[in-house]
Amino acid sequence: MNELYALIKSLSVPERMLAFVILAPLAGGLLSGIDRKLSARLQGRYGPPVLQPFYDVMKLLRKERIIVNKFQDFPIVLFLLFTIFSGALFFAGADLLLTIFGLALAGTFFVLGGFCVSSPYSHLGAEREIIQTVAYEPMVILMAVGMYQVTGSFRVGTIAHHHAPLILYLPGVFAGFLYILTIKFRKSPFDLSMSHHAHQEIVRGITTEFSGPALALIEITHWYEVMLLLGMVYLFFAFNPWLAVVMALATYLFEIFIDMNYARFKWQLTFMSAWLFTAVAGVSNIIVLSLMR
């Protein structure tokens, strides 16, 4: 393991960026397969093979391209590209704020894709996606601010090599970030805009009118996004790389557990609870850090 970690550290910036572009969808797809398998077992079902997400994506890519609006696929391509751009910046050790803003821009293009079609289900899903963004974005910004207060830098490389455990200084920020990850991972009780199941009041929400290759791109983008978010969890425990990897995986398993045990919240409760948790856990942690300086 030490040899593997040394190899990763020896990679140049372009090599780390290329490694993210190639390996992130593989790791994200594998986690998605484990998610589906574990969720099925928790529900008393056998579940699909762990590699099923890859089979599904390959099947979608081979399907005929059917569009409702000739512009609808363009925002999805930008959604993918800006997510990859954000992740590549993060794993290259670049500016954390730039990474967060790039990810927010990617989400904006996803919402635009939902508004491109005339389906009321897609429009309602896009509106809920905006509400979710407003709910979780303050906590993501606070995470970056808290890490800057501790390390004196917004650069991911500097934060990752900080000598002290960030989790000891930012327990409230980590708790708040863990809370909003449920929104970002699109898990219950916060899967408002796009559900895994079509049997709901908005069918498939923002993705209702997407099919074939476009739907495959959305799924691949989600894999990239999951790996980027787990990378942010890694930073809280980066003083010990192997502990950080274990905690990132444990966080993902915890989100699966939450998904299996809670029904969907209404958008009002989602919004208010996210902001309340941000204020209580995140802002209070930032204030305490400021007073300690």
- Domain positions in the chain are 11-292
Give the model's pLDDT for residue 197: 54
205 residue type, one letter: G
Element (H, E) at 36: helix 13-42
What's the whole-number mean pLDDT along residues 186-214? 73
pLDDT digits (tens, 9 = 90+) for 46-101: 888 999 999 999 999 888 777 777 788 899 999 999 999 999 999 998 899 999 99
pLDDT greater than 80 at residue 195: no
- Whether the bond between 189 and the residue before it is cis, its omega within 30 degrees of 0, is yes
pLDDT greater than 70 at residue 1: no
What percentage of the chain has pLDDT greater than the value 90?
53
Rounded Cα gap, residues 233 and 253, in angstroms:
13
What's the whole-number mean pLDDT along residues 24-42? 92
Tokens of 41: 């077992």
- Binned at pLDDT 50, 70 and 90, residue 198 comes out as very low
- Binned at pLDDT 50, 70 and 90, residue 124 comes out as confident
What's the whole-number mean pLDDT along residues 157-175? 92
Look-up of token digits 């050790």: 93
pLDDT greater than 70 at residue 111: yes
Query: Is the Cβ–Cβ distance between 21 and 84 less than 8 Å?
Result: yes
What percentage of the chain has pLDDT greater than the value 70?
92
189 residue type, one letter: P
- Binned at pLDDT 50, 70 and 90, residue 164 comes out as confident
Give the model's pLDDT for residue 200: 58
Give the model's pLDDT for residue 246: 94
pLDDT greater than 80 at residue 194: no
What's the whole-number mean pLDDT along residues 15-21? 89
Q: Which of 107 and 118 is assigned the larger pLDDT?
A: 107
Rounded Cα gap, residues 195 and 137, in angstroms:
20
What's the whole-number mean pLDDT along residues 260-264? 79
pLDDT digits (tens, 9 = 90+) for 206-236: 887 788 888 899 999 999 999 999 999 999 9
> What one-character DSSP code corresponds to residue 155?
B
pTM: 0.92
Give the model's pLDDT for residue 272: 92
Tokens of 267: 């958008």
How many Å separate Cα 75 from the centre of its chain?
18
> What one-character DSSP code corresponds to residue 282?
I
